[in-house]
Structure 1
Amino acid sequence: MTDLVNVSVEELTEYSLADLKSLEKKVAKAIATYDERKKKAALAELEAKAKEMGFSLSELTGAKGKPVKASGVAKYCNPDDPSQTWTGKGRRPAWFLDAIEAGKKAEEMEV
């Protein structure tokens, strides 16, 4: 994988507009899902450690057997603020409705 953190603006100018927009979408998705991915990794590590010690994580935390429902994965992001996302389920956010009203298509806002 290319080390994008150290890529200069001059190097980015070599990319086409389509490549830059694709990269922007990927970065927005990675940012939007960062906390969830870190939480899942931490939970897996804790469960493995508890199992190694002969327990389940729910036994150690006192949690009931009911699993916590995870929030959905973002399907759309606000073109003006990629940190605002929507799973495509439930009520449509104002930014999504505003973008549709302004002529954007839902496909253009997909993550």
Structure 2
Amino acid sequence: MIKQSELNAMTRTQLEALLKKVQKTLDGRSDGVRKTKAIVQLTKLAKKHGFSLDELMDSGGKKRVVKRGRGLAGRKVPPKYQDPDSPSLKWSGRGRNPKWVDAALARGLTMEDLKIR
């Protein structure tokens, strides 16, 4: 708990900031109370009609799990770029640039120059 002497020592700006924090806390508590009351009322109403609140909130069947594919991640793709100085160095264009690509770009070459034709 903040003592009166501590409040007296605070500047107006500090007091206003404290007031905002207190108001936010109070608002959060009142929202929580309202939510609790609403849940109690809904539970009673559901029970009156022979259901539980969980049964009413269920989507009516098994929960559907959406599986997301990995897209192109992890799949091998053919190389698109090749080092003109060392043709054995190739790159698909995915991920970070290899050092040889950065070096070629620094020498003034473009990505188009590095493309495999």
TM-score (norm 2): 0.35
Structure number with bigger Rg: 2
